[in-house]
Amino acid sequence: MTRDDDEDSGTITLAEWAKEVGRTPEHIAIRWRPTPGFPRPAGRRRRLGARGPGEPVYDRDALETWLAAWEEARARPRRRYEVPGDPDEMRTLNAIARLLGVAGKTLSQYRQTFDAHAEHRDHGARTLYRTGDVVNLLNDRPGAGVASATERDARRGRDLTDQEAARLQAAATPGEWAAIARDLLADGASRPSIGRAVGLTGNAVEQRLRDHDHM
């Protein structure tokens, strides 16, 4: 159901909730929303005087319940890894895994995260990553099983409709583009599909949103 008001005490947009919990809207849309068990939208809210279907809104209590469970899962003791040797050394994920004494899939399941947030470069057919970045990201990962499911779901996110792609392409300013992109992510669109609409990769979409936050 779409409401033509600007506030409803029982529901909240992900952007509004992000401010309350100290996260960026894209962090919630990309990292949390695809996680199994994350609440589904309870409806839509249309700003006063605005046209279109409105922005997805979520039940505030359901979000808080999910966050409490997520924080409890993260608080469980788990192994933390020390950086093996020089943190600036560029290595393959398999090489880093061997130094850490773990199976290669322990790192490869987070490849999308490393590609987005770790310094890396192509070296022939291989990709080399800054060792310190990989280890730090591994230590900051969500609870067991969550990250891999999140990344699979993020890759599977829906494609844009022609109308949604046209909205992105018609954005007149970087701020307008970022606002539209965040709305689409919150509504289940994938980063690659957003990127395809404007000639970017999925990782470049995330980087552009992060850059906009720091403007």
Tens digit of each residue's pLDDT (9 = 90 or more) over 140-192: 765 543 434 444 444 446 788 888 888 888 988 888 888 888 888 877 788 88
pLDDT at 193 over 70: yes
Tokens of 190: 């994938």
pLDDT at 123 over 80: yes
pLDDT band of residue 49 (cuts 50, 70, 90) is low
Over the chain, what is the mean pLDDT?
Answer: 80
81-101 as b/e, with b when 16 or more CB fall inside 10 Å?
bebbeeeebbbbbebbbebbe
pLDDT at 98 over 90: yes
* Spatial contact of 160 and 168, defined as CB atoms under 8 Å apart: yes
Give the C-alpha separation, 113 to 93, whole Å. 12
pLDDT at 52 over 80: no
**How many other CB atoms are found less than 10 A from the CB of residue 154?**
22
- Look at residues 27, 21, 6, 10 and name the one whose alpha carbon lies nearest to residue 186: 27
